[in-house]
A and B are shown apart, each in its own frame.
Chain A
Amino acid sequence: MSQIRHVLGISGGKDSAALAIYMKQRYPTLDIDYYTCDTGKELDETYRLIDNLEVYLGKKIKELKAVQHPDENSFDFHLKLKGGYLPSSIIRWCTQKLKLEPFEQYVGTDPVVSYVGIRGDENREGYISKKSNIQSIFPFRKNIWSEDVIRKVLNIANIERLMDLYVSIDLEKKSQRFEELLMSPLERSFTMEQKLHLLLDSNVKDFNRLVFAFLKGTNYPLAHEQYFPLVENDEVLVRKDIFRILEESGVGVPAYYKLIDFEVNNQKGQYARSRSGCYFCFFQQRIEWVWLYEQHPEMFYKAMEYEKEGYTWGQNESLEDLIKPERIAQIKLEHLKKASGKQRTASPFLTDILDDAEEIGCAACFI
């Protein structure tokens, strides 16, 4: 019987849903508690996905509420408390109040392993809880460990301890290369990232075994475990695997990811929403606002209501201005241009050229 709790947050996004399915398929013995934090401002598709997942998992997904009062909507309640001050990318109280706090409250002081659905083709850690009794694990990545764990393991001061462990524990295949790598100290021309990368390349499972053994002497929740099946995990899952898992499992991809045709100035294009989370999320791109306006006008108008106080969701542009027909056409054309990839952005500036929109956002809301 496990000493610790295993939890997995369902954000309503595709990645966390796929992770739940993956964990059930791959590690059916792990007793995982599923939870979701409802903001009350999600799209219908999100709720449907959660329903579908419950059916698939055969287990209730616990709904965490930021506000216990039955008549109060969590977001609106907090908004009222904030004196009507809407969240923004700088003052992001929404994630804090609606996602992280309910989660941390739900966990309490128990040692917990939290599974996070960051993919193998993403290079970020996300916005995760930093509480010491919560240890994040990333099953889709080659490196399943969180950055703080790696930092500790590969710390120069711990080389000796690591070498001792390397000698004493059972490893699949002891190789000179692995050993050499392990012993190489970090320096300017040999960063931690590179060391980690090479070690994982050399032998993922052995590296995981080593880390797991290392954790024994720490306060991390996994120190309490005798056995952790994910140590044996050497799979890397990328975007296309996520869609495959969702479709093959029958849970399905949330409808808002499906591309919808549109036409502008006799040109055909497609759009979709690229993220889960609140329908008025200030992280969404302009084309997603247009999508919302055209596909879910009622939600769009609700989002507009919030702007009454003079605040705008987007930077320097009100939703009212955004849905003027000529502006919509302009946004769509820009989107077409970007999507075609051929005629790159007209801007010669690297800030526009090396722009990766996918990297913004965070684990709590979108994964």
Chain B
Amino acid sequence: MLTKYSPSVHIIRDKNREMTYIPTHNATQVAQIIWDSLQQGGRSFNLIGSFGTGKSAFLWAFEQSIRGQKHYFQFPFEKDSKIDFISCVGEYKSLKSYLQQQLNLEENATTQDILAEVYQRYHNLGKGDKVLFLLLDEFGKFLEYAAKNNPEEEIYFIQQLAEFCNNPNHNIVLLTTVHQSFEAYSSQLSAMQREEWRKVKGRFRDIAFNETVEQLLFLAAERMEQLDLGKPDKKAVQQMLQLHTGAKAFIFFSEIRAEQGLKLFPLDLFSANVITLALQRYGQNERSLFSFLENPDYTGLHGYRKRSNPFYNLSNVYDYLIFNFYSYLTSQANPDKAIWSSIKNALDKSENNWEKEVDNAKKIIKSIGLLQLFAQHGSNLDKIFWIKYAQVSLGIDDAENIIEELEKNQTIFYQRHNKRFILFEGTDVDIYSTLEAAGKQVEITDIATLVEKNYALEPIFAKSYYYKTGTPRLFEFKISNYPLEKLLPQGEIDGFINLVFNDKLSIKDIVKTSSAQQEAVLYGFYLNSKAIKELLFEIERTKKALRDVNQRDKVALKEFDGILTHQQSLLNHYILNNLYSNSANEICWVYEGQQIQINDKRTFNAKLSEICESIYDKAPHYKNELVNRHKLPAPIYTAKRNFLKALTANWGLENMGLDKDRFPPEKTIFITLLRENGLWPDSKNPAHPIEITDNSTFTALWKESNTFLHSTRKNRRRVSELTEIISKRPFKIKQGLIEFWLPTFLYIKRYDFALFQKGVFIPNINDEILELVNKYPQDYEVKAFDLEGIRLDIFNSYRLFLNQQETTQPTQQTFIETIKPFLIFFKGLPEYAKNTKRLSKEALAVRGAIANSTDPEKTFFEDFPLALGYSSKHLQSKREHLEQYAAKLQDAIREIRTSFDELLNRYEAFIQAEVIYESMPFTEYQVLFRERYKDLKKHLLLPHQKTFVQRLYSELDDRKAWLASLAQSLIGKNIESLRDEEEVLLYDKFKTIISDLDSLTNISQTDINEETESVFQLEIASFDDIQKKIVRLPKKKQTEINTLQAHLKAQLSADKTINIAALIQTLQDLMKKQNT
């Protein structure tokens, strides 16, 4: 007897309940498989079937049949067999603890205790044939739990249970049901763990439990037979059979038997197929089908209008579906929504176009729409089919007119290639199966990447922090599978909101990462990752379908688009709404290792501000939205230029020299950044060192900048190192403010350090330099002056040497002031003094140190001491060393300074020794020279000799000028630029020209001082030439001459004539040489 129909079966609850069960072909087969397997020693079974396929009902029927209470299945047990069942329904918990409860054991019962209890129950059945069935319905729930909690231990228990049952010595049978294969539950485990699951899976025999549409229809037919639904018109059923065979719309019932067609009545074969498929797709398979069969309302089998419908036809199916599944069919979740809405549109349209026969037209539209959705490809649904179907099933006698009319007004049209009518507004893409197909090619492994792909989450601005400090702080979203450790806020971003999606992590993991995190990072751990993952799968497959579908099929595109929009907004809901929800089940927030409560958007934002305050506690407060920001806006550039100009040009002036009645941005910046913080000198006391006001929020920044500067005492550091420091926690100054702070700070401290651009000393810091420093801080280096202790004394020894005032606090200016005289000294040196190597080692080194100086500090404390053979350490050891050092430096400088004069002295000494043979003052030897050549035969002079003579007689009465002018005429260049190697050349030329001039001079006795000088005139005449020579030699040289003469004489031969000739020829040679 039929009691009330129940859509679902609970094997414990319904144990003793009367129910209608129709054993399907599938169920019968499964029962047979189990029986056969039992005979062969199989003890553990796993029924796999999707939702609503009747697994639970099967278990119920199975138990009833085994117990012999019903006979759905045939189990030929021995008559006196003792049988018992332990029935379990899965819950999301540990199987072990479930069984502990189920078997009334203590909470701490071990696996052995549980198995012992099961065995005890088996044992209690007594002697003889006995079987104990352990039914585990919804076994998947246990597996799901096991996968997420303690997978190793749980699965081991299952393994032990299965092995226990598989013992062939006793008959304990384990029968479980699951929705998907065992392995599918292990997809998120590690490879090792998955291997373990596979091993356990092998302990079970898998039996597929899936009802086909055919079977469902069979079920329906069986049930309908029991229902009294009127008498079928056999002729009509026969026509329907023919129509069905010809249309080839469905593969089922391909060889349908007449009695089946009769059994299905009042469903026609088309409506029967469609309702079954539709219920599989939109409902829950078997369960929905039985709901349909039992449905008492006016759209169902029991209530439809039989008079106007010979069969429960397609249009009735449409009505039933719309009535019962309206919300789903019209929702975006429905992949077929497009066709459903196009049916709806077509129906609406027909309301307007038709007056008569509107109902019939609608019937046809509904029918065409449904077959468009469900009929398979290759079916033949032409006009003849529809006329016939309308006649037989829809109860429309003259459908041809209606169909033609529908075609005419473009409600339907015939697709020739498909041999079928479809709704005009429709698409021939089967949205559902396209999505299914796409889904097979999509796999979700990494939630985070996908969420990120779908989410352009805008950074969040910490509001209250901004109102309080004037600094905009932005938090960027970071989506990841694991809590991110290495996060460094840079540039515009000041912090991160790390959303973690991972159903395998626990809050503990997040807390751990968060505790170690030093930056401004708020972790959000999503507890509903699984739902998000499923939704992401939907989105991905919809996107895939969208890509794959014919891009000209606007309807399908629109449809997929709609689906996508729906899914995405659902994802938004999951992700964004949860973001600020106070529900602790959906997201858990962790900061600094502590879980925190977020109630709403407002408290969330307040939390961000709180984070900023603690992480960036040293950042100054500066309320100027044009400056305190990441990137300065264009208009402020002018203000910045003006600010820097005024800063550098008007240091110390009231209002930085800006008009007191006007307030351009640069003045506001001056007031708020400099004056209010005490960073501007008091005009009454301009020399007072700048110190920041006590309560200034810039104090920490000021100190840090000073620390940096101080750290450059030993070595240069790039300015960019400072910007790096202050662009990080606990400062994280915005770039815009840095561009004002950095130049301001450097300018305030300009006297305390030397600035270099790529190693080149910058003597003056002006606005242009500051702009460049801002722009390329990595190119500029800072070196604070290190003048502690003795270094100051060394420095002052230079100042003393230069007659400069002693200083206690040398500045950049003092350094320049001190190095400059050395540089000017060097630059003012004649070329000769700049280049000559005829200097002492020390003087050469000092000159080199000046010429190659690139950094005053280095020159003073390293190069000069090194040049003079001192080390800094040495100088520091004793005061006397410093005094000696200063004296040595002075000597070296003097030596360089006088080197040119020394050259002139040597030059003069040469003249005195080699030409006039006597030391005498300039005025005297100048006269002497003039006397010497007063009888010079000027007309015989060569041009260069002429110049020389002119210079000899020039009015230059200055020794230096006169000597220089002579030298210039000899070597063709100024003596100031004489090279060392040319000095000898100068002397040679001088000697030669004197000798030449002497030869061109008529000598009279009066011209010569015979006491000091020997003079010979020599004339050698040959046939072609006469060579004349006057030789003047100082008497002092007589000894030298005598020696050489003795030497020569010793070499002479006995032949007097040969001796003379040889000597004459030698003389000739010598004279020639001297002339050239």
- A residues bordering B, Cβ < 8 Å? 78, 81-85, 88, 90-91, 93, 188-191, 193-194, 309-311, 315-316, 341-342, 344, 347-351, 353-355, 359
Quick one: given A309-B947, A350-B856, are A93 and B956 in contact (CB under 8 Å)? yes
Whole-angstrom distance between the alpha carbons of A309 and B952 in the complex? 16
Q: A121–B950 Cα gap in the complex (Å)?
A: 45
* Contacts known (A193-B805, A350-B853, A353-B763); A316 close to B977, Cβ less than 8 A: yes
The residue from B796, B856, B961 contacting A91, defined by CB atoms under 8 A apart:
B961
Partner of B768, one of A189, A193, A341, A351: A341
Q: Is the CB of B974 within 8 A of A311?
A: yes
How far does the Cβ of A73 sit from chain B's closest Cβ, in whole Å?
16
Check A190 against B974 for contact (C-beta < 8 Å): no
Q: Given the complex of chains A and B, what is the CA–CA distance between A351 and B851 in angstroms?
A: 6
| CB of B826 closer than 8 Å to a CB of A | yes
Q: Which residues of chain B in 462-477 are interfacial with respect to chain A, using CB atoms and an 8 Å cutoff? A: none
- Report the Cα distance A342→B772, complex, angstroms: 9
B residues within 8 A CB of A84?
947, 950-951
- Closest chain A residue, CB of each to CB of B816: A354
Closest Cβ of chain B to A296, distance in Å, is 26
CB distance from B831 to the nearest CB of A (A): 7
Contact B965 A82 (CB under 8 A): yes
Q: Which residues of B contact A347 (CB under 8 A)?
A: 760
Q: How far is the CB of B827 from chain A (nearest CB, A)?
A: 6
Min CB distance, A13 to chain B, in Å? 22
Closest 7 CB pairs of A and B: A83-B954, A85-B965, A83-B951, A81-B955, A189-B806, A83-B950, A191-B805
Residues of B within 8 A of A81 (CB): 954-956
Interchain CB contact under 8 A, B956 and A82:
yes
Chain B residue at minimum C-beta to C-beta distance from A360: B828
CB contact between A315 and one of B806, B831, B851 (< 8 Å): that residue: B831
Give the distance in Å from the alpha carbon of A268 to the alpha carbon of B823 in the complex: 32
Residue of A84, A90, A194, A342 with most chain B CB atoms under a 10 A cut-off: A90
A146 to B1030, CA, bound (A): 57
Contact assessment for A85 and B961 in the assembled complex, using a CB-CB cutoff below 8 Å? yes
**Residues from chain A with Cβ under 8 Å of B830 in the complex:** 90
In Å, the complex CA distance between A109 and B456 comes to 95
Q: Tell me, yes or no, whether B972 is within 8 Å of chain A by CB.
A: yes
Cα A309 to Cα B969 in complex, Å, equals: 8
- Which residues from B are CB-within-8-Å of A88? 974, 976
Q: Does B761 contact A (CB under 8 A)?
A: yes
Look across to chain B and name the residue whose beta carbon is closest to the beta carbon of A316.
Answer: B977
| Proximity bits, B797-810, A CB within 8 Å = 1, else 0 | 00010011111100
Give chain A residues whose Cβ lies under 8 Å from the Cβ of B763. Answer: 353-354
Min CB distance, B1021 to chain A, in Å?
35
Add 15 more A-B contacts to A83-B969, A350-B853 (CB < 8 A).
A83-B951, A83-B952, A83-B965, A85-B961, A85-B969, A91-B958, A91-B960, A91-B964, A311-B968, A341-B768, A344-B757, A350-B819, A351-B850, A355-B823, A355-B827
Query: When chains A and B are docked, how far (Å) is the Cα of A190 from the Cα of B806?
Result: 7
A351 touches B760 (CB 8 A): no
| Nearest-Cβ distance from residue B644 to partner chain A, whole angstroms | 14
From B760, B804, B852, contact of A344 by CB (8 A): B760
Shortest beta-carbon distance from A82 to chain B in Å: 5
A4→B805 CA distance, assembly (Å) = 38
Q: Which A residues touch B900, using CB under 8 A? A: 90
Q: Give min CB distance, B743 to chain A, whole Å.
A: 16
> Chain B, 145-161, contact with A by CB distance < 8 Å: what is the 0/1 string?
00000000000000000
Residue from the set B803, B852, B954 with the largest chain A CB neighbour count within 10 Å: B954
**Contact partners of A359 in chain B: CB under 8 A:** 824
Q: Is B964 in contact with A85, judged by CB distance below 8 angstroms? A: yes
Q: List 19 A-B contacts (CB under 8 A).
A: A78-B955, A82-B961, A83-B954, A83-B965, A84-B951, A85-B954, A91-B965, A188-B806, A190-B805, A311-B974, A342-B768, A344-B762, A348-B761, A350-B761, A350-B859, A351-B826, A351-B827, A354-B763, A359-B824
Chain B residues numbered 824-867 whose CB sits less than 8 Å from any CB in chain A: 824, 826-827, 830-831, 850-856, 859
Nearest Cβ on chain B to A85's Cβ, whole angstroms = 4
Question: In the complex, which of the residues B761, B800, B852 contacts A353, with contact meaning CB atoms closer than 8 Å?
Answer: B761
Contacts A84-B951, A93-B958 known; A188 to B800 CB distance under 8 Å?
yes
Q: Is residue B937 contacting chain A, with contact meaning CB distance below 8 A?
A: no
A194 touches B805 (CB 8 A): yes
Min CB distance A127 to B, Å, is 14
* Bound-complex Cα distance A37 to B279 (A): 121
Closest to B824 in A: A359
Residue of B nearest to A189 (CB): B806
Interface presence of B702 (CB below 8 A): no
Q: Which residue in chain A gives the minimum CB-CB distance to B851?
A: A351
Q: Which residues of A contact B974 (CB under 8 A)?
A: 88, 90, 311
- Residues from chain A with Cβ under 8 Å of B747 in the complex: none
- A77 nearest CB across to chain B (Å): 10
Q: Are B951 and A85 touching (Cβ within 8 A)?
A: yes
The answer to whether A354 and B956 touch (CB under 8 A), given A82-B965, A85-B968, A310-B973, is: no
Q: Which B residue's beta carbon lies closest to that of A350? A: B853
> Shortest Cβ distance from A166 into chain B, in angstroms?
24
Give the complex CA separation of A131 and B853 in angstroms.
40
Expressed in whole angstroms, the Cα–Cα distance for A367 and B950 within the complex equals 34
Q: Which residue of A lies closest to B806 (CB)?
A: A189
Q: A93-B961, A311-B968, A350-B856 are in contact. Are A85 and B805 (CB under 8 A)?
A: no
Which residues of B697-716 have CB atoms within 8 Å of chain A's CB atoms? none
CA distance A193 to B804 in the complex (A): 9
Query: Using Cβ atoms and an 8 Å threshold, which residues of chain B touch A83?
Result: 947, 950-954, 956, 965, 969
Complex Cα gap A348–B977 (Å): 25
Cβ of B378 under 8 Å from chain A:
no
CA distance A184 to B3 in the complex (A): 126
Residues of A within 8 A of B803 (CB): 191
Which listed residue (B762, B816, B824, B956) contacts A85, Cβ 8 A? Answer: B956
Residues of A near B805 (CB, < 8 A) are: 188-191, 193-194
B246 touches A (CB below 8 Å)? no
Instruction: Report Cα–Cα, A316/B974, bound state, in Å.
Output: 10
Specify which chain A residues have a CB less than 8 angstroms from the CB of B964 in the assembled complex.
85, 90-91
- Are B972 and A191 within 8 A (Cβ)? no
**Are A353 and B819 within 8 A (Cβ)?**
no
Question: In whole angstroms, what is the CA distance A118 to B796 when docked?
Answer: 31
Residue of B nearest to A345 (CB): B760
Chain A residue nearest to B807 (CB atoms) is A189
**B562: shortest Cβ distance to chain A, in Å?**
61
A349 and B831 contact, Cβ closer than 8 Å, known pairs A83-B947, A85-B954: no
**Which residues on A sit within 8 Å (CB–CB) of B1037?**
none
Least CB distance, A177 to chain B, in whole angstroms: 15
Q: Does B234 contact A (CB under 8 A)?
A: no
In the complex, what residues of B have CB within 8 A of residue A350's CB?
Answer: 761, 819, 823, 853-856, 859
Contacts of B768 in A (CB 8 A): 341-342
**Alpha-carbon gap, A239 to B715, bound state (A):** 40
CA distance A85 to B956 in the complex (A): 9
Residues of A within 8 A of B819 (CB): 350, 354
Whole-angstrom CA separation of A288 from B196 in the bound complex? 93
B759 contacts chain A at the CB level, 8 A cutoff = yes
CB neighbours (8 Å) of B806 from chain A are: 188-189
- The residue on B at minimum CB distance from A188 is B806
Q: Tell yes or no: B558 within 8 A of A by CB.
A: no
Q: 8 Å CB contacts to A: which residues of B110-162?
A: none
Write the B58-74 contact mask toward A (1 if CB under 8 angstroms, else 0): 00000000000000000
* Bound CA span A82–B976, Å: 17
Tell me which residues across on chain A come within 8 A of B853, comparing CB atoms: 349-351
**Binary A-proximity of B969-984 (CB < 8 A = 1, otherwise 0):** 1001110110000000
Nearest CB on B from A320, distance (A): 15
Query: Which B residues lie within 8 Å of A355 (CB)?
Result: 823, 827
CA of A344 to CA of B761, assembled, Å? 10
A82 touches B816 (CB 8 A): no
Please, how many angstroms separate the alpha-carbon atoms of A351 and B853 in the complex?
7
Per the bound structure, the CA–CA distance linking A101 and B772 in Å amounts to 52
Smallest CB-CB separation from B808: which chain A residue?
Answer: A189
